[in-house]
Chain A
């Protein structure tokens, strides 16, 4: 493929950036979803589980129905259904958000529902009937630099850019988005303004699950394309880190996702060129950097300026505020 183009397209920077976009895309979807939930004040640590269920159901749909767009819809629905459990527990039943999110990952994740479904539907060791392929013709893909990085991608990548723009516009330029931020920042004040806190939290948690489902399906329908147990291998947790890394901003999520994506692909690219570097070193960087960023933004002033939702992780009970 790109190797044939030779020259600059074969340079390490281009190869790393191209793989950054590929591996960053599932992170981007999942992080956008988590961002929506967190902006409404709901921390959902079940991203990994929701992604895995999205991955397995998306793959099932493509084997059954064969239509890729429909399969993505199925994956989104599956993720949303998982998120609904979390929403019910933490919004209606006021359960601890951390425990509920972890429970969701155990329930839905590898060795949970996703592997139950995958094995029960006999999805392992099957080649995908359809998979997302590059959108643009081959001749475009050999364009220097932007060819491999931008023009060789699938619809899922381009759709993710649209999603980033839509989420950013929604949160920053619409009345509804303003309400969401109010709910996440100060549910009591939002309630006094007549905003239905419960409904906003439900809807955004569920939307977050749908995005996570699509992120999972990005693995099973585009990157691998197949299903194995636990195929996201921790991407859901990176997505949670990414939201903080991006200061709860959709556009920064895009940058962060590719940045993290680059680090997860880097060691393999380097290895193929005879540079041996322990993959753990580059793989650990996103986590360490997230901690550093978190420390930098954790002074109260910085938190407010940078957008950490004030009521993140706390249930809202009207009578007890």
Chain B
């Protein structure tokens, strides 16, 4: 048997080698799967990469797919750092989309200088409010946040459906001709549409820029402030933290609130950047929240890594949508994501532990005796 020993120091090169190795292994396994199921692997992968990252339109679409993933990835990353397993990013994104859309609808007649920041704030508030439910339960009643945040995803999704499909809510379009046939949300006024930055032919959504700025701020918060240090200590050893007099309860509330706010801004960005209406079907079909957890784990909960990986996974998802059709194996993108993550999870072992073959040790021992 191979012995597994804990490493005292985690070598830096491994933290980069493992994600790259994961992708390589995942591609290898996928190649075998494609060969077995009679799809040409080279051609399939080339189409995938083409549709994700080559050409202006494809890149622009990849930014569209990546934007919500950066938000939900950051949402998961900052909570998981404290061993606070907020898997409610999905629901918190919906909550942000609901409250953000309300802000957009109310303030849309004013200028964008007012309505866009208001939507961001509203989205953050909505997401944070939903995240505070599991946070309060965890902090004061010791209720496991994993399951409560997971359940709230479904509640939030149902609220979203209810607002558009089964009620005459403020968000629902009840006047236009198409809305009479198929229920849909009200269109946001023009001032509530978020601007986009044009770099050459590349369109960077405003939400993406906001997400990148937030990633930088979070990195500063987590690596350069007392708050971040305490969060890290609580995550590594709750007991040591409480001996040191850190206020765990407050941190739970703050981190969950922040985490939910990030996902919530992602929801508001869906309204303002892309959909321009509250769109229950589109939001819930995408599964941004769950993908965010995967991205956070792949990035080892580092904000910058989250941005990069969200872009790559966004590309993969975008390619999946584009290539949907009879001649492209459906489900390939999900399988790829899963495989990459499995490998990365396995690779985590290599970062944290050292694998030793006992035979070599026996030889060493023999040499010492000799």
Contact = CB atoms under 8 A, between A and B. Distances in A.
The answer to whether A and B belong to the same complex is yes
B230 interface: no
B147 A119 contact: no
Contacts of B85: 98
A288 interface: yes
Contacts of B331: 111-119
B147 A99 contact: no
A240 B290 contact: no
Contact of A103 (B146, B148, B333, B341): B341
A106 to B, nearest CB: 5
A100 B335 CA distance: 14
B338 A104 contact: yes
A103 B167 contact: no
Nearest to A90: B345
The main secondary structure of chain B at its interface with chain A is: helix
A280 B147 contact: no
Given A89-B342, A102-B294, A107 B147 contact: no
Contacts of A300: 142
A111 B320 contact: yes
A284 B335 contact: no
Contacts of A96: 297, 345
A198 to B, nearest CB: 11
Interface in A105-139: 105-120
B338 A112 contact: yes
A287 B152 contact: yes
B147 A290 contact: yes
A4 interface: no
Interface in B4-60: 6, 37
A190 interface: no
B154 interface: yes
Interface stretch (A150-158, A166-174, A201-209, A291-299): A291-299
Nearest to B289: A102
Contacts of A229: 330
Contact of A99 (B294, B337, B339): B294
Given A102-B87, A299-B141, A299-B142, A278 B162 contact: yes
Contacts of A108: 338
Nearest to A112: B334
Contact of B334 (A94, A113, A299): A113
Contact of B345 (A89, A120, A237): A89
A229 B147 CA distance: 26
Chain A contact-residue range equals 35 or more
A295 B141 contact: yes
A93 B345 contact: yes
Nearest to A109: B334
Interface residues of B, number: 47
A108 B338 CA distance: 8
B236 interface: no
Contacts of B334: 106-107, 109-113, 115-116
A103 B147 contact: no
Contacts of A104: 338
A281 B353 CA distance: 48
A97 B147 CA distance: 13
A39 to B, nearest CB: 16
B346 A287 contact: no
Contacts of B6: 319-320
Contact of B338 (A98, A103, A319): A103
Contact of B341 (A107, A111, A240): A107
Contacts of A295: 137, 141, 143, 148
A17 interface: no
B330 A100 contact: no
A107 B339 contact: yes
A112 B335 contact: yes
Contacts of B87: 45, 98, 102
Contacts of A287: 151-152, 154-155, 158
A163 interface: no
A95 interface: yes
A144 interface: no
A95 B345 contact: yes
B186 to A, nearest CB: 19
Contacts of A93: 345-346, 348-349
Contacts of B142: 298-300
A234 B294 contact: no
Interface string B165-196: 01100000000000000000000000000000
A279 interface: yes
A241 B153 CA distance: 12
Given A103-B345, A291-B147, 18 more contacts: A43-B146, A89-B346, A94-B349, A98-B293, A99-B294, A100-B345, A106-B291, A106-B294, A107-B338, A110-B334, A113-B334, A116-B330, A116-B335, A278-B162, A279-B166, A280-B166, A294-B144, A300-B142
What are the nearest 6 A-B pairs in CB distance? A107-B338, A112-B334, A116-B331, A115-B331, A278-B166, A95-B345
20 contacts: A45-B87, A98-B85, A99-B341, A102-B294, A104-B338, A106-B334, A107-B341, A111-B330, A111-B331, A112-B334, A112-B335, A112-B338, A113-B334, A115-B330, A117-B331, A234-B154, A241-B150, A284-B155, A287-B154, A298-B141
